[in-house]
Structures are given as C-alpha cells and as structure tokens.
Homo-oligomer: A and B are copies of this chain.
Amino acid sequence: MARHAAKLDYPVSRIRRYLEPGPIVMVSSALDGRRNIMTMGWHTVMEFSPSLVGCIIAGGNYSFDLIRKSRECVINLPTTALTDAVVGVGNTTGAQVDKFRTFGLTPQPATRVKAPLIAECHANFECRLADDALVDKYNFFIFEVVKAHVARSPKHPETLHYTGDGVFMVAGKIISRRRQFRPELLDS
C-alpha cells in the first residue's frame, strides 16, 4: 500500500463493504487541541441509510472523553501493512504519547468533522455521534458516517481481525458467490 494512498469519495450507504467483515479499525479524535488514536474491534454496521455504525468505546480510554465531548470521530481502516502501528496504538495511551508522532501516522484534515483522518489507512469514515442512548450503560456509541474516503487500490486489501490475546486473523482472499444470490441482495 502506498503510504499516502490516493483516495476517492465513496458512498456512505455502502461502507458495509469495509466494516461488515469485522476488521480492527483505528479511531481518531480531537478536542481542544488534543488528539488521539485508539484501536477498536467491537463495532457493527447498523443501517445503510442513514449510514450507522455502533461501537464500544470503553470509559478507560483516553479517547472516550474526546469523542463523547466532541461528538465526532473518524473510523480508519488499516491494512496488514500497518500491523506494527495497530499494535502500538493498541498498547499505549494518549495520556502519555502522541500516537500520530510515535507511530509515524499522518493526520489529514477531514471534510465534515474536526477529528483528523489517518492518511496511511486504506479508508477513512468521518463520523458524527447519532445516538448516545446506550453510552452510560454499555459504552455503546451509535455514529452516522457522514463522509467516506477509500483508496483507489488495491480492491481487496489484506485486513487485520483481532481475536484477543495478541493474535490477529488476516482476511484478504475473496470468494464470490454472486451467481447464487437473489438479485435484490446484490448491488445494482
């Protein structure tokens, strides 16, 4: 992957293409001159349109406060080329280090939110908090993806899928069964 891949706008209603497979993602946030990145494996697509994503952000994370107060974040999709950065981001705290600088990640201005994109990631989804009804009880945030950027290539990058205990599964190989699907379940 190019370090700063050229990206295209992508329809927000179709981001399940990237998130439904369940990759580990890096969530970037900013508030009052502070910024941070956290890794996140507990997330799910919830709706196509509006484009909703639900996720757990534990209260102990330095990012929790930034995201809850700014009501924004960016969900960034790393590929296996960024494995070291993913592991580093997940094993440090923004209270002690600037993760962009420490792990060589480049913050880029987003279009619709103040949180920065991570330039090196394959895709970036700009998010606004849509519903905080379950935050107090479960740390569960529901975001609306308001803008999506996806690298022009590769079409099927290798992604990391966290199992816990320091171990990732890698997904990248593709099986197409389009011909066995009902037409209404396929993209037009």
Chain B residues with CB under 8 A of A168: 174-177
On whether the beta carbons of B181 and A87 are closer than 8 Å, the reply is yes
Bound-complex Cα distance A165 to B167 (A): 29
On whether the beta carbons of A83 and B170 are closer than 8 Å, the reply is no
Contact of A91 (CB < 8 Å), options: B18, B46, B180: B180
Chain B residues with CB under 8 A of A133: 133-134
Using known A-B contacts A21-B169, A169-B174, determine if residue A56 contacts B44 with beta carbons closer than 8 Å.
yes
Q: What distance in Å separates the Cβ of A73 from its nearest Cβ neighbour in chain B? A: 16
Stretch from A30-38, A98-106, A113-121, A156-164 at the B interface: A156-164
Bound-complex Cα distance A44 to B47 (A): 14
* Copies of this protein in the complex: 2
Contact of A182 (CB < 8 Å), options: B45, B54, B91, B176: B91
Contact pattern, A 82-101, Cβ under 8 Å of B = 1, otherwise 0: 01100110110000000000
Contact of A175 (CB < 8 Å), options: B47, B80, B180: B80
Q: How large is the interface on A (under 10, 10 to 19, 20 to 34, 35 or more residues)?
A: 35 or more
Q: What distance in Å separates the Cβ of A71 from its nearest Cβ neighbour in chain B? A: 18
Highest count of chain B CB atoms <10 Å: which of A42, A80, A160, A180: A42
Cβ-based interface call for A10 (8 A):
no
Cβ-based interface call for A52 (8 A):
yes
Partner-B contacts on A (CB < 8 A): 14, 16-18, 20-23, 41-47, 52, 54-56, 80, 83-84, 87-88, 90-91, 133-134, 138, 140, 142, 156, 159-182, 185-187
